[in-house]
Amino acid sequence: MTGFIVAALIVVGGIVLYALRRMFRHGGRITKYFENAVTVYIWLGEEDARIAAVTAAKVAAKRQRKLMAGYLKLHAELSEISIIPEAQESIQTLRELIDDIEAKEWSIRDIMKAKDKLEASNPEYLRALNRADSGIFPRKYPRLFAAKSIRETAAIAKKMQSS
């Protein structure tokens, strides 16, 4: 009987660990989705990507949302983006996005409204968010995500906006 209980506990423990691992991996994919949406919004000014980024932040857990805001602050304050003339506008855009994300604690109702707004503006982005598919943005804008530096990203974005 004791052997059965030990075996059952091992199985249950394994299931719990598997579920936790999936949950954390999903959270990491939501963060990557957020980062990619921010990249598209900052460099191309795509409003749908902004809505996607804010929605991803609202969906995220409080701790994860703080990390997302920290990611934006890091890029706004410390990265080489601040020394590139073409990217100066991006710094203000990042700060506005930070303010939106940190505005308040988001309720389930807020999250549902955000998802409805994303569905209305870009259903494909919502489907990707629901699947935690961060690859939606690199697939749509492969040249932007192939850039190796901020300067190269700025140049590619400028070309994409003018065409």
Q: What tens digit of pLDDT does each residue of 33-87 get? A: 999 999 999 889 999 999 999 999 999 888 888 888 888 887 666 555 555 565 6
Is the pLDDT confidence value at 119 over 50?
A: yes
Radius of gyration of the chain (CA): 19
Q: Give the C-alpha distances (Å, rounded to integers) separating 16 from 10, 63, 122, 147.
A: 10, 21, 35, 40
Is the pLDDT confidence value at 151 over 90?
A: no
Residue 71 pLDDT: 80
Helix 108-121 vs helix 47-59: angle between axes, to the nearest 10 degrees?
Answer: 160
Q: What is the percent of the chain with per-residue pLDDT over 70, rounded to a whole number?
A: 74
Angstrom distance (rounded) from CA 27 to CA 142? 24
Nearest 5 degrees, angle CA 144-CA 152-CA 146? 35
33 close to 56: Cβ distance less than 8 angstroms: yes
Between 51 and 153, name the one with better pLDDT: 51
81 close to 89: Cβ distance less than 8 angstroms: no
Judged by average pLDDT, the poorest of 34-43, 87-96, 100-109 is 87-96
Residue 139 pLDDT: 98
Q: What is the mean pLDDT of the chain?
A: 80
Q: Taking the domains of the chain in order of start, what are their residue ranges?
A: 33-162
Q: What is the pTM of this model?
A: 0.77
Q: Among 77, 68, 44, 70, which Cα is nearest to 163's? A: 44
| Torsion sign across C-alpha atoms 100, 107, 48, 32 | positive
